[in-house]
């Protein structure tokens, strides 16, 4: 048998429509056919092809809840002295909105006085005319982050989308059909997968090699290997650890896996040399 030292097999589709691996005809068709796409029918049910599944595509609409009663606003108390700032407490529930008060009369604009010390926050007065811009004050400290608000109510359901194009309905229950427009039956998909598993399989062997010389010279490694009954070696690849490189092949005459190991470092290495063997049905 011809020895093959390529790491990656050449896989392509031949003129007869079958999968080929390194010029080997696997006998397996490469082209599959389309399946059936479910769609929503005119009556609102799911259809598979022309068959009504009797399953609605949308759920029933729930009943609308009754609004709660509005609470009465309390009387406004006198303003107390400003106390020290305490730690942030948990966010309370949102209270009902009170009625809007009447707008008071606008006062006259007085002359601008000198900038004084910042006093405590007073009650909000009526809005006056816009005054001249004052000097930029210092940036205040960043306040504590507030708690995350409660999630809002779910939005209403959007309108129904357009109906899609119907999918193909032709099914082929074999691996030989080449007519366009036929979908591969699931049973044939399993059969195709089983055929591929029987046709090709991968074997693996690893062995540690002691004292590979430094300096980049070639070091030959050979490991006995028995090909499983009913199979032939299609491809062999090898790699080495510990900073070394390797290329491998199989000799049917000596029944051994061979690898050329190169140690490009300045010290001797003890790498593991591993072989991946791609096997095909004989």
> For 230-262, how does the pLDDT look when each residue is reduced to its tens digit (9 = 90+)?
899 999 999 999 999 999 999 999 999 999 999
* pLDDT for the residue 19: 86
**Looking at residues 272-278, what average pLDDT do you find?**
95
175, 27 Cβ separation under 8 angstroms? no
The share of the chain scoring above pLDDT 90, in percent, equals: 26
Q: Which of 33, 14, 21 is nearest to 177 (CA)?
A: 33
CA atoms of 199 and 126, how far apart (whole Å) = 89
pTM reported for the whole predicted model: 0.34
> For 197-213, how does the pLDDT look when each residue is reduced to its tens digit (9 = 90+)?
667 889 999 999 999 99
**212 DSSP 8-state letter:** B
What is the rounded average pLDDT for all residues in the chain? 82
pLDDT at 130 over 90: no
Beta strand spans in 120-227 (E):
170-172, 182-184, 200-208, 218-224
- Cα 206–chain centre separation: 34
CA atoms of 80 and 121, how far apart (whole Å) = 11
* pLDDT for the residue 276: 96
CA atoms of 239 and 102, how far apart (whole Å) = 86
What Cα–Cα distance (Å) separates residue 254 from each residue in 186, 205, 225, 281?
45, 17, 9, 21
* pLDDT for the residue 1: 44
**196 DSSP 8-state letter:** H
pLDDT at 106 over 90: no
Q: Which of 219, 277, 207, 206 is nearest to 245 (CA)?
A: 219
- For 268, residues 6+ apart whose C-beta sits below 8 A from its C-beta are 211, 212, 213, 214
* pLDDT for the residue 33: 61
**Looking at residues 252-276, what average pLDDT do you find?**
94
pLDDT at 85 over 50: yes
Q: pLDDT category, 128, cuts 50, 70, 90? A: confident
> For 16-64, how does the pLDDT look when each residue is reduced to its tens digit (9 = 90+)?
988 888 888 888 888 866 656 677 888 888 777 788 888 787 767 767 8
* pLDDT for the residue 271: 95
Q: Please report, in angstroms and rounded to a whole number, the separation of the first and last CA atoms in the chain.
A: 12
- For 138, residues 6+ apart whose C-beta sits below 8 A from its C-beta are none
* pLDDT for the residue 102: 86
> For 131-171, how does the pLDDT look when each residue is reduced to its tens digit (9 = 90+)?
787 788 787 777 787 677 777 788 788 788 787 776 656 77
């Amino acid at each position: 048998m011809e020895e093959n030292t390529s790491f990656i097999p050449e896989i392509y589709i031949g003129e007869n429509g079958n999968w080929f691996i390194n010029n080997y005809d696997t006998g397996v068709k490469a082209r599959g056919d389309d399946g059936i796409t479910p769609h929503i029918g005119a009556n609102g049910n799911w259809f598979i092809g022309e068959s009504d599944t009797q399953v609605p595509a949308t759920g029933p609409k729930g009943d609308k809840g009754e609004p709660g009663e509005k609470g009465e606003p309390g009387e406004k108390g006198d303003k107390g002295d400003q106390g020290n700032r305490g730690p942030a407490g948990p966010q309370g529930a949102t209270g009902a909105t009170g009625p809007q008060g009447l707008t008071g009369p606008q006062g006259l604009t007085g002359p601008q006085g000198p900038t004084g010390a910042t006093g405590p926050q007073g009650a909000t007065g009526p809005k006056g005319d816009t005054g001249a811009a004052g000097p930029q004050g210092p940036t205040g400290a960043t306040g504590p982050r507030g708690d995350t608000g409660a999630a809002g109510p779910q939005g209403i359901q959007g309108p129904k989308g357009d109906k899609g194009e119907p999918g193909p309905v032709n099914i082929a229950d074999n691996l030989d059909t080449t007519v366009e427009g036929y979908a591969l039956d699931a049973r044939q998909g399993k059969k195709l997968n089983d055929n591929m598993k029987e046709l090709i399989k991968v074997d693996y062997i690893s062995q540690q090699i002691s004292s590979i010389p430094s300096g980049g010279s070639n070091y030959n490694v050979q490991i006995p290997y028995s090909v499983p009954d009913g199979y032939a070696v299609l491809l062999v690849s090898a790699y080495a650890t510990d900073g070394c490189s390797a290329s491998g092949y199989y000799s049917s005459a000596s029944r051994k896996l061979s690898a050329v190991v190169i140690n490009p470092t300045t010290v001797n290495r003890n790498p593991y040399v591993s072989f991946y063997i791609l096997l095909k049905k004989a």
